[in-house]
Structure 1
């Protein structure tokens, strides 16, 4: 089951020996609706955190990690090591998030 996949940012898992299966990733692209974008534009004038975008990025990271786990499980992996995030803007109102790492199988 994908939820049983261990995801770690470290290279080694204490107490485990494993074989590398290969690169694995999870991707998502999210956007906010027009009304939220107007609110964010107004907040941009006065400064401070734009909570709707913070929430969107948090949700995006969770979705990307969930997809990473599903892709690792489909490869027959037990865990993902060296997991990292990458993100970028697409236009002015979309954000893409990638979670990537190395899928491994316990010996």
Structure 2
């Protein structure tokens, strides 16, 4: 499935708009990883455990959005956007949304 953050796909024609699709995941920080991140914060450097957590979260949210788009019969999702929000202390939601469409080559 084609995923694009643009409203159009160059060289393709949107023939049908199927509506908004979305995917999300809520993740909590791991206490052990939090301690290690605190130490990294003192010495500097990438917080790789958080980078990994965010990558997994984005992948999961994207897959859920694609599943919803497939269920509508879409072959692409355009104008894709990501959003994050704090749900509770130590827990955040990663949300992705876009427009499910059917595209054809021109």
Asked if TM exceeds 0.5, the reply is yes
Q: How does 1:6-85 map to 2 (within 5 A)?
A: 6-18=2-14, 19-85=16-82
1:64 and 1:74, CA in 2 relative to 1: closer, same or farther beyond 3 A?
Answer: same
* Normalised TM-score (structure 1): 0.84
Gaps of 5+ in 1: none
Bigger share in strand: 2
The alignment's C-alpha RMSD in Å is: 1.7
- Asked if 1:96 is matched to 2:96, the reply is no
- Count of residues in Structure 1 that have an aligned counterpart in Structure 2: 103
Q: Helix, strand or coil for the counterpart of 1:25? A: strand
